[in-house]
Structure formats: structure tokens, C-alpha cells
Amino acid sequence: MANIEKPKFYILEVSRNNYLSQCLDVEMHLQGQGLANAIIIDGNTNNKNKENALIFIRRHFHESLKTQYLSVRDSKILWTRLRERYDHTKTVILPQAQYD
């Protein structure tokens, strides 16, 4: 099935190379759309906002990631799992970038 709407920015690659920039892009976009509470653990939001955030996040996944996270139906849970999987890149990449 072809994408009806083009992604707003680069998709999240399986290789983790673009996680930091993609994470910031998603957070800023969701905040701009009033959907940031849909990915915040303690944030209150309605089901419509959760679904819209979930659709937006999945639209920016590599195809293999879409398959891996197909069963996750809650935007907060999906965002938490992505952070658990990829967030350690901050400890590896960020200090080197700050040093440079």
C-alpha cells in the first residue's frame, strides 16, 4: 500500500543512525499539533489524540520496524519501547559530538 501522505522528515532506520534527530523531529511535530501528551507517560490525552500520534509515529518507521511493532496499539507504549531500544545512542554519540 502506497503512502498517501509523504513523511514530514526521514524515517527511523533500523540501524539507529538517525534516532536522535528523528526523535526530536517527532517530539516537536507532536507538540506543534497538540499531541505531545500522547507520548508522555504521565500525560493525559484522549483516544483520538493517541491514535493520531500513533499513526504519525508509524508513518516515519522503516518497513521492518513497522512489522516489529505492529501489535503495539498505544502511542505511549510504542514511544517507551523505542526509547528503550534506541535511547542508549545518546550515551555513545552525544559525548563524542560534544567533544568534537
The total number of structural domains that make up the chain: 1
Please report whether residue 89 resides in a domain.
Answer: yes
With respect to residue 9, please indicate whether it lies within any of the assigned structural domains.
no
78 within some domain = yes
Say which amino acid occupies 97.
A
Which pLDDT value is given to residue 1?
Answer: 47
pLDDT in tens, 22-81: 888 889 999 999 999 999 878 788 999 999 999 999 988 888 888 999 999 999 999 999
* Interatomic CA distance for residues 98 and 100, integer angstroms: 5
User: Is residue 46 assigned to a domain?
Assistant: yes
> Is 81 part of any domain?
yes
**87-100 pLDDT, tens per residue?**
765 555 555 555 55
User: 50: domain range?
Assistant: 19-99
- 73 occurs within a structural domain: yes
Residue 8 confidence (pLDDT): 65
User: Is 3 contained in some domain?
Assistant: no
| Phi, psi (rounded to 5 degrees) for 89 | -65, -25
Residue 10 lies in a domain: no
How far apart are the C-alpha atoms of 87 and 84, rounded to whole Å?
Answer: 6
